Amino acid sequence: MTALDPDNGKHVHGEFKVPGGKLVIADLDIFDSVIARANINGDFFLEPDNALDDINAALEGLPHNSSHSTVAEAVKAALDDSVVMFGFDAHAIATAVRRATGFATSWDDHDWEIIVPTEIPIFTQVALDQVLTEDVAAGRARPAMRLWKWPLSEPAVVIGSFQSFSNEVDADAAAHHGIRVARRISGGGAMFMEADNCVTYSLYTPTSLVDGMSFADSYPFLDAWVMDALDRMDVKAFYEPLNDISTPEGKIGGAAQKRLASGSMLHHVTMSYDIDAEKMTEVLRIGREKVSDKGIASAQSRVDPLRRQTGMARSDIWDVMMETFAERYGATTREVTEDELRRAEALAEEKFKTRDWIHRVP
């Protein structure tokens, strides 16, 4: 991506590699905030040849800050049904254009950090997700991947922002097992999270990284690195729409997101490591319903633990994940700062520990 000065004229360059497809490159001349000349190129296939001229002509005259959907629709309108695009499409062109003009970004456009596991209470964990996501939007923090760690004395269920407390959680069973119930800011399903039974991480990133992507496309895009890490551990994982990570032996995890209007987003994943399926089905009502006609043995096969598939200690899995993320994105490591923890602890008291938040959907 090249810095843009649309008023004085500028040549800009953007690239987008379609997942499983081809490379699309946008070379643009911007003048008076308008795309004055467009040159779309790459290793894709296009028939007939002159359709490329139609694509370029469709882009010329567009405002440089046109939305992803505006660019894609302009390209689609310029092409008739006889045109064959192989390895790319109008949305890929729009992403390359938006990267060229600076409104979409790639992983390489950011200086990434890895926030190493630090033992933090569960309510502070969910508060810290909000704090760090807001910090990225405000420019107070760099984009980061953070691994969760919390006290052994704090088994927990973390429910999605829009889930009903009473429909998801058996409050009596949770109290019996000493399990805290927290609510996070993202949607998605409940996460049964005893301290040693799962591997959880959060990504804090500008929304420009997923500019123009549907939620369905953004999940595997943001978790491509962890698929690499799992492959290094001989776990053959794949995505099942919308947000489940599975293997041939069963589901191992799920993802959730929250996109802030201020321009940043939270994406997080919880993967089971050594889950107590019987306790889970006592505490989670939905989990109980899903296995009501199958018995506990079915629950144990449904939520397939990483411990059995890898034979590795959880800390060793963390190491592979951090190494993979650092290698792919040039990330540096750091710890949670005292200021970040202080603000997260205050937010936990003010919001995340309160009955109003935990029971916001009764």
Residue pLDDT, tens place only, 304-335: 689 999 999 999 999 999 999 999 999 999 99
Average pLDDT rounded to a whole number, residues 172-179: 96
Q: Write the CA distances from 110 to 1, 173, 210, 332, integer angstroms.
A: 11, 44, 13, 12
* 63 pLDDT tier (thresholds 50, 70, 90): very high
Say yes or no: 331 and 212 in one domain. yes
Full residue range of the structural domain in which residue 237 is found: 108-358
194 contacts 150 by C-beta, under 8 angstroms: no
Of the three residues 82, 104, 126, the one that is the final residue of a domain is: 104
Query: DSSP labels for 67-82?
Result: -HHHHHHHHHHH--TT
Task: Output the pLDDT for position 297.
Answer: 46
Quote the mean pLDDT of the chain: 92
Bridge partners for 30 per DSSP:
10, 35
List, for residues 15-36, the tens digit of each pLDDT value: 999 988 999 999 999 999 999 9
- Decide if 1 is inside a domain: no
296 pLDDT exceeds 50?
Answer: no
**Chosen domain end from 104, 138, 162:** 104
Residues 66 and 114 in one domain: no
Which of 97, 34, 94 is CA-nearest to residue 62?
34
pLDDT in tens, 237-268: 999 988 999 999 888 999 999 999 999 999 99
d(CA 323, CA 267): 19
CATH of the domain at 147: 3.30.930.10
Is pLDDT at 76 greater than 90 in this prediction?
A: yes
Question: Is 2 or 110 the better-scoring residue by pLDDT?
Answer: 110
For residues 20 and 72, state if they share a domain.
yes
Boundary-marking domain end, from 39, 74, 104:
104
- Report the alpha-carbon distance of residue 38 to residue 165 in Å, rounded: 53
**pLDDT given at position 7:** 57
In a domain, 167, yes or no: yes
159 in a structural domain: yes
Give domain status of residue 212, yes or no.
yes
Neighbours of 175 (CB within 10 A): 12
**Each residue of 86-104: pLDDT tens digit?**
999 999 999 999 999 999 9
| Pair 100, 112 in one domain | no
Q: Please give the pLDDT value at position 294.
A: 36
pLDDT tens-digit series, residues 112-166:
999 999 999 999 999 999 999 999 999 999 999 999 999 989 999 999 999 999 9
d(CA 227, CA 235): 9
Picking from 362, 354, 353, 357, the residue whose alpha carbon sits closest to that of residue 154 is 353
Are residues 135 and 189 located together in one domain of the fold?
Answer: yes
Identify the pLDDT of residue 250: 85
Q: Do residues 254 and 188 make contact, with C-beta atoms less than 8 angstroms apart?
A: yes
* 117 shares a domain with 63: no
Q: Is the pLDDT of residue 50 over 90?
A: yes
Task: Output the domain CATH number for residue 88.
Answer: 3.30.390.50
Number of domains in the chain: 2
Which residues does 147 contact at the CB level (< 8 Å), separation at least 6?
Answer: 114, 115, 116, 117, 199, 200, 201, 318, 321, 322
